[in-house]
């Protein structure tokens, strides 16, 4: 399963490395190595004072924030500040609850320290790919409704942009083709606990989420059904969503292609639409 890019990235594509930045900033006391963020600042002449916080994918057990530097570079070149968020991975003891809690702590840290970090806390968008899309949507929902089981205390999302997201977490635990060992590996020991699965599933809370929402998928996205289900739920609820479903059988245009291969023409289409979406919603809702 392709869920994130290699750390061996094309240096020419990695514009982020030449930007002003703060790397490995811990967001909790006594932070584990994975409880850090990297903050990249767009060049002053281009800067829009819009912040995109990116939560990487990796099927809950893999991935690394640094993999997404080429993806971040696309937005930095257009004036968006980008934060790459790291979180502890499911290891058989930790599970998605811990991943959500880490992300919530990071979002609160960035909000409470926004002035010191030179970030505009009023214009922060969340994005995530694959499993990161699950985390991003849940946390956007939780930033509006702090009664969710896991939620940030201070952070408020301006909107959520999801690329090939996991959405209905409970269906992952009943998906055909996965053995019990596989489910225990990427979901954790509570993979048979339906109530818990639903409690950490973005689908459970979508009806109460009012923020702007962008979703992208494509023909060869192996979890495309999750995006289609999210779109169907939005339609059923009568809530707006900007939905981009690229029809392509080209090699490379697959799951989270706009993140792992951002220079592809199809990837540029998605990422340009993301930038327009953020600009359009930077100071208002729908």
**How many Å apart are CA 25 and CA 109, to the nearest integer?**
10
DSSP per residue, 160-229: EEEES----HHHHTS-TT--HHHHHHHT-TTTT-HHHHHHT-HHHHGGG--S-EEEEEETB-TTHHHHHH
Which one, of 123, 138, 6, lies nearest residue 67 by Cα?
6
Q: Render pLDDT for 229-275 as a digit per residue (tens, 0 to 9).
A: 999 999 999 999 999 999 999 999 999 999 999 999 999 999 999 99
**What's the pLDDT score for residue 160?**
98
**What's the pLDDT score for residue 6?**
37
**What's the pLDDT score for residue 43?**
96
Stretches where the chain sits below pLDDT 50 are 1-7, 12
Which one, of 38, 230, 40, 201, lies nearest residue 131 by Cα?
201
**How many Å apart are CA 7 and CA 10, to the nearest integer?**
9
| b/e burial code for range 219-232 (CB count within 10 A of at least 16 → b) | ebbebbebbbebbe
**What's the pLDDT score for residue 4?**
39
Which one, of 158, 172, 207, 209, lies nearest residue 96 by Cα?
172
**What's the pLDDT score for residue 14?**
83
Token pair in block for residue 91: 């290891």
Which one, of 200, 72, 90, lies nearest residue 137 by Cα?
200
Q: Which domains can be identified in the chain, with CATH numbers?
A: 11-280 (3.40.50.1820)
């Amino acid at each position: 399963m392709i869920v994130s890019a290699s750390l061996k990235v094309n240096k020419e594509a990695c514009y982020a490395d030449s930007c002003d930045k703060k790397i490995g900033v811990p967001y909790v006391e006594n932070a584990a190595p994975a409880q850090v963020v990297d903050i990249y600042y767009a060049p002053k002449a281009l800067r829009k004072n819009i912040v995109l916080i990116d939560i990487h994918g990796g099927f809950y057990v893999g991935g690394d924030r640094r993999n997404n530097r080429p993806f971040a570079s696309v937005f930095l070149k257009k004036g968006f500040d980008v934060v790459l968020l790291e979180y502890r991975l499911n290891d058989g003891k930790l599970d998605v609850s811990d991943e959500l809690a880490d992300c919530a702590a990071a979002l609160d840290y960035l909000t409470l320290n926004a002035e010191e970090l030179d970030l505009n806390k009023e214009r922060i968008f969340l994005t995530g790919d694959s499993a990161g899309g699950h985390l991003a949507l849940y946390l956007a929902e939780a930033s509006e409704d702090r009664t969710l089981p896991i939620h940030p205390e201070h952070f408020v999302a301006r909107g959520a942009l999801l690329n090939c997201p996991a959405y209905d977490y409970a269906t992952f635990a009943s998906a055909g083709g996965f053995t019990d060992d596989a489910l225990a590996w990427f979901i954790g020991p509570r993979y048979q606990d339906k109530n818990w699965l639903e409690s950490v599933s973005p689908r459970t809370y979508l009806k109460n989420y009012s923020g702007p929402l962008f979703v992208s998928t494509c023909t060869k996205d192996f979890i495309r059904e999750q995006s289609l289900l999210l779109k169907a739920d939005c339609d059923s609820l009568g809530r707006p969503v900007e939905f981009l479903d690229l029809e392509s059988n080209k090699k490379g245009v697959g799951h989270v292609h706009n993140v792992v291969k951002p220079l592809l023409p199809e990837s540029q289409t998605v990422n340009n639409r993301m930038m327009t979406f953020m600009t359009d919603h930077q100071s208002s809702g729908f």
